[in-house]
Structure 1
Amino acid sequence: MARREYYDDPNAPKPNSMVVAASAFVTDDEGRILLQRRTDSGLWALPGGGMELSDSLPGTAVREVKEETGLDIEVIGLVGTYTDPRHIIEYSDGEVRRQFNVCFRARVIGGRLQISDESTELRFVVPSDVSSLPMHHTQRLRVQHALEHRAAPYLG
């Protein structure tokens, strides 16, 4: 299924759903950031996805990282909340969503890096190399906030 993201675009379609989601800013022992190249958009992103009725928000991040990357993580903090109504995601199946995303800080505790059907590539990236990757503005913002090591989480 294809995906197109809009930001502050007057031509964006009107949302027909609201999805609660979690993403994870995962780093390895060398401080590199885990990123995936998404199958549906071709863009680089933090791993994450929609919350299920049986999940907690941190549990959603743990489950999604495992499903998308094969890695087991431990949530160790909160980067922020991302609820900007100007961010619209349109899917080829007709869903047009607004997303309420909570981005957690996490570390790897096990597993083996493995591509899923949601990504074409997985990579631990040196922070200085992130700016050269094709990435949606909203993903780049989460990475930026995590790298700032803010005293309080971003609330937006």
Structure 2
Amino acid sequence: MARRDYEDDPNAPEPNSLVPAASAVVVDGLGRVLLQRRTDNGMWALPGGTMELGESIGDCAIRETREETGIDVAITGIVGTYTNPAHILAYDDGEVRQEFSICLLATPTGGQLRTSDESFEVGWFTPAEIDALPVLPSIRKRIADWRGGRIPVVR
């Protein structure tokens, strides 16, 4: 399913849903960050997705990371809470979401890199390498918050 992100765009469609989601800044022992290149928009992003009934936000981040990248993780902290009403995600099935995402910090515990139906590339990148990749502003913000040690409460 294709997706288009709008951020601070007056032409964005009106949202019709609000869905809790989690993402993870997964950092390995060399200080590299795990990223996936998404099939829905072609951009590099942190692993993450929508929370399912019966799971915690941490369980969601763990599941989504494993599903999208093949890497098992342990949650070690929080990067921030992101609820910018001007960040809209429009899907080709007609769903238009307002952002509601908790970004967690994680460390890899096992698994092997692999792609999924949601990712056509996965890899580990240094912060300097990430600067040169095509990444949406909302994801850059999460990475910048992690890099700066800032823990925003509301975005």
TM-score where L is the length of structure 2:
0.97
The aligned counterpart of 1:53 is 53
> Runs of at least 4 residues of structure 1 off by over 4 A?
none
In structure 2, what residue type is equivalent to 1:5?
D
1:33-59 Cα shifts (integer Å, max 9, x gaps): 000100000001000000001110011
The aligned counterpart of 1:123 is 123
The aligned counterpart of 2:21 is 21
In structure 1, what residue type is equivalent to 2:64?
E
**Within the alignment, does 1:75 sit opposite 2:75 as a pair?**
yes
In structure 1, what residue type is equivalent to 2:80?
G
In structure 1, what residue type is equivalent to 2:131?
S
Percent same amino acid at aligned positions? Answer: 53
Distance 1:99 1:59 in 2: 19
Distance 2:126 2:111 in 1: 21
The aligned counterpart of 1:139 is 139
Distance 1:13 1:96 in 2: 7
Report how many aligned residue pairs link the two structures.
Answer: 154
Deviation of 1:129 (Å): 1.2
Distance 2:118 2:68 in 1: 6
Distance 2:93 2:108 in 1: 34
Distance 1:112 1:37 in 2: 16
Gaps of 5+ in 2: none
The aligned counterpart of 2:63 is 63
Distance 2:103 2:121 in 1: 21
The aligned counterpart of 1:109 is 109
Deviation of 1:30 (Å): 0.4
In structure 2, what residue type is equivalent to 1:75?
I
Q: Which has the higher strand share?
A: 1
Distance 2:136 2:110 in 1: 28
In structure 1, what residue type is equivalent to 2:119?
S
TM-score where L is the length of structure 1:
0.97
In structure 1, what residue type is equivalent to 2:77?
G
Secondary structure of the structure 2 residue equivalent to 1:13: coil
